[in-house]
Structure 1
Amino acid sequence: MRTQLVTIPTPTTPLDGAFHEPDSGPVRGGVLLFHGNTMNFYTGALRFLPPALTAMGYACFAFNRRGHDILALRNSRAAEGAAFQTTAEGIEDNTIAAAWMAEQGFKAPIIMGHSNGGFLAVKHVHDHPDTPALVLLSAHRGGSGPAVLESQKTAGHLAKERSAEVLEEAKALVAAGKGDQLMLVPGWWYVISAASFVDRMTTMHAILDLAPLIKVPTLYIRGDDESPVGYPAEVYAEKAGGPCEAQVLPGCDHFYNGVEDMVCDRVTDWLKRTLG
């Protein structure tokens, strides 16, 4: 495949990514890939899927949301990264990347998202019903409110049994104008800003609520090492408003370590069966 690095402006920090095109032959369509929490366009599924997809004739754009990695620097000492992310910002970033793909001639690309990228992909496809197909790779269930606070205790995420207490601390920091202050939170990727913590606990959509509204053909993959509650492939497939196939991969963790070829085979086989 042929690859070029791309930078796309946003209202704040630009989006960086890689645009992969088939080395030869006709281009049958486009694929837009959304990375997982604290990840980026050159690791995980966004790294190992494009060679398989371009071999099928698809042009792929894998990009960093403004909430990429954990913390990063660009051209100054000002920090950026997933510690500061918000759900609204992630949705906006995906819309900006889709607009860039449209400028390249791919007005309705296939959408693929891993983990938090899959969570965001459901909302993106809800807002872009002309999407030809959706691939969810271990998309988390999302949601907000009291039920999510309770679920953190059993799931071991976002401050665990202290989630309600830490939420109040984070709200106090935001109210004091210190939303960018970093907090050490157990059950998370080391640090998160107060504003981002509040956002994740109070604004995230629930993919199972959106599922009946998603009409496009969907493949939802999760590993057998992952929780069916946190990554509800089977339940999502039952609720989906269009055809949806749930696959649970054997010997597979959340990051698909050691089974990358299997994931590529499952995705490309489903695309062939679904889109021809």
Structure 2
Amino acid sequence: MGRLTDKTALVTGASRGIGRGIARRLARDGALVAVHYSTGETEAKETAALIGEEGGQAFTVRADISEPDQVAELFGALERELTERTGSTALDILVNNAAFSGHTALPGDVTAELLDQYYAVNARAPFLIAQRALQLIPQGGRIVNISSGITRSAQPDMIAYAMSKGVIEQLTLHLARHVADRGITVNSVAPGLTDNGKPMFSNPAVVARLAELSAFKRVGQVEDIADVVAFVVSDDARWITGSYIDASGGTLLG
């Protein structure tokens, strides 16, 4: 039996990239996975289909989490689906993965509108989702917030993104203390340069240049991140909470 057998999980932004990798890995470990998406319905259904082909269980739920009222819609759909499949609304694992990466802009070019876009998805939504999920998460549950290695290094043209991801780490820290008496762990996992399927990763020259930034001289794969998340949500990580887990492949070692 998988170590997540009889567990349920919600992975936001799971239609592709790192989110898809996490959803697939948790399903392989035995969890029933809710694959959340905002606009990529076809890709989300592909994620669920891949999980089914691998012997796992999954279903899709849609919500534009940049809109606060749609968080309620997300959980309405999630609760219906969980009840139908398990007879309960219990959610054992939440992975706040969905993110807006937008476009780069130097500090002088960052607009209020761009900041709002970043914060709506990368900061406000994870808080609201975790807040609502805690009504469903039982004793010993798990919350994982996907941060970014960019919060530990300086790249001025990514300041807006980095600021919004920094909020994730504060959410992790304070929420971990708040729910500790329920045996719930809350941790941040921070990927570095990871091949998430974006066009630039199909360019060998670009990949070679990015690989030089890692201590291992390669670009990360979604499986590298998914495996870390799988550990953090397992019982093996029961004594880890409030932590920032660097999953950047040594990118920050200099």
TM-score under structure 2 length normalisation: 0.47
Higher relative contact order, structure no. (Cα contacts within 8 Å, ≥ 6 residues apart): 2
Structure (1/2) with the larger strand percentage:
1
TM-score under structure 1 length normalisation: 0.44
Structure (1/2) with the larger helix percentage:
2
